[in-house]
Amino acid sequence: MSTHDLFDPTDEHRALRSMVREFVLREVDPQAQASDRTETFNVPLFRRLGDLGLLGITVPERFGGGGMDAVAAVIVHEELSAADPGLCLAYLAHAMLFANNLQQNGSDAQRARHLPDACAGRTIGGMCMTEPSAGTDVLGMRTTAARDGEFWVLDGAKMWITNGAVSDTELGDVFLVYARTGDRGTQSLSLFIVEKGCPGFRLGQKIRDKLGMRASTTAELVFEQCRVPAANLVGAEGDAVGHMMRNLEIERLTLAAMGLGIARRCLEVMNRYARERKAFGSPIVEFGQIQKHIADSYAAFMAGRSYVYQVAGALDLVRSGSRIDSDGVKLFCSTMAKQVADSAIQVLGGYGYVAEYQVERLWRDAKLLEIGGGTIEAHQKNIARDLARIGSI
């Protein structure tokens, strides 16, 4: 597969891809199957991403980050997810949902306090939005925050939180938590920094037996009269919906990039297998049914890859305005990745149904992309509404 300037627009991007791909082959790929089997978040390997300067890829250098753009973020997510989407999901929650979110919406004091450790991998962060009874319906969240002198007091629970736990019993280190600070409405949500050890903040449960993304820990987090310093309010009270919308664009773009990594690896596996496996005296790549799986998968992958990198090249991390296409790339690439993985399993037959060739794991991992970070139904709704509003394409 040839590389085009759209995918590596500068020498810096090209060097980044080369570095991450070498790291993935050397350190990520060998442990992926075991981490999936044991449902283990490989924390030492995750911290190695900090050594490589990847954990704050979009954070300015003065706060310990890489100071790079959305294209760079896409490159890292594509390369990591080609071997271990579970580890990549943990990376996304930390680097995009926590570090990039705080960089874009926090104060310099908050950035200086939290981002250097996050970028170095000394702390592991995440973001808390979804609740047991509120997912896509963000305004239905019930977690509340009430001012009490120099503190905010949080009460409620968050569900399906990536990096919510780093082991069976231990919380992640620091989170951005959305909570209601007024009556139901777009101006009633606020964002808070909550650290492990804060009184009233505890791990509810680590979620087990997930279909996929098992190398990424998912947890329920509980806030019971959790007292957070007033200085931990991010931005102004009631501003969190704007924060959320801005960060959703890079979240959905990088989730789409994860779909690219999954699809690319599955395509590579089925192509290699089809050349080597013989049936009725010929390599199965010579049979039309197999050719259809490979050709359709390649075309879909390249269509998605071109779309993702086009959107990444135009994305402004500082302000929102790309919702229609951040929804579009995730809508297309999430389902595309699952379909390409499904084709790979079909080409490999029985061998595709077991762990040896990785595609069954990638197929399981791909399904989450149609749910997390916005369901495909939510993307369809958003795109249709935006097209109706703008009236032309």
Superfamily in which the 11-124 domain is placed by CATH: Acyl-CoA dehydrogenase/oxidase, N-terminal domain (1.10.540.10)
Residue 347's pLDDT band, with cuts at 50, 70 and 90, is very high
Report d(CA 235, CA 196) in Å as an integer.
21
Kindly list the distances between the CA atom of residue 14 and the CA atoms of 5, 10, 80, 81, 304, in Å, as whole numbers in the listed order: 9, 6, 15, 18, 20
Residue 301's pLDDT band, with cuts at 50, 70 and 90, is very high
DSSP reduced 3-state for 203: strand
Report d(CA 175, CA 361) in Å as an integer.
29
pLDDT at position 4: 60
pLDDT at position 185: 61
Measure CA of the first residue to CA of the last residue in the chain; give whole Å.
31
Report d(CA 324, CA 297) in Å as an integer.
25
| Residue spans per domain, the chain | 11-124, 126-240, 241-390
**Structure token pair of residue 335:** 């389902």
CATH 3.40.640.10 is the classification of domain 241-390? no
pTM: 0.96
Report d(CA 272, CA 158) in Å as an integer.
43
Place of tokens 């777009």: 186
Average of pLDDT values for 97-122?
A: 97
Residue 56's pLDDT band, with cuts at 50, 70 and 90, is very high
Average of pLDDT values for 4-25?
A: 95
Burial (CB count within 10 angstroms: exposed 0-12, middle 13-18, buried 19+), residue 298: middle
126-240: which CATH number, 3.40.720.10, 1.10.287.70, 2.40.110.10, 3.40.50.2300?
Answer: 2.40.110.10
Catalytic position from the list 78, 195, 220, 251:
251
Active site residue 251: yes
Tally the residues of the chain.
393
DSSP symbols for 75-127? HHHHHHHTT-HHHHHHHHIIIIIIIIHHHHHS-HHHHHHHHHHHHHTSS-EEE
Res. 393: pLDDT tops 70: yes
Higher pLDDT, residue 78 or 390: 78
Report d(CA 189, CA 197) in Å as an integer.
24
Report d(CA 362, CA 354) in Å as an integer.
11
